[in-house]
Amino acid sequence: MEDAIQTLVIQFKTYAGTDGSPNTLSKDEFCNLVTTQLPNYIKGRDARAVEKLMSSQDENNDGELTFSEFWKLIGQLVSEKEAGLS
């Protein structure tokens, strides 16, 4: 499990480091990440729905997702996808 967690952390940092703040995801970085890395988890969502997904987790509303906010979002997508888990 630790390897899997590390994979998620490293990927987050890779995308977060593309522009601006190296530890948060901008809207572009977020869209890039989910489109490339999580295609099955955002299936059926168009670009607008993906942006909405991001803003739903951007608690302090600064247009950037912290790792915490990103982590919560994945948890939510997994719960949607996996029947029986919540």
Of 33 and 54, the one with the shorter C-beta distance to a second copy is: 33
- Residues in the site for a second copy, rule: CB under 8 A? 1-5, 7-9, 11-13, 22-23, 33, 37-41, 66-68, 71-72, 74-75, 78-79, 82, 84-86
State how far the alpha carbon of 44 is from the alpha carbons of 41, 58, 61, in Å. Answer: 9, 21, 25
The residue ranges of DSSP E strands in 1-86, in sequence order, are: none
Q: What are phi and psi of 65, to 5 degrees?
A: -105, 125
State which residue, 21 or 55, has the beta carbon closest to a second copy.
21
Minimum distance from CB of 57 to a second copy (Å)? 12
Whose Cβ is closer to a second copy: residue 46's or residue 60's? 60
**Cα angle vertex 37, ends 10, 7, to 5°?**
25
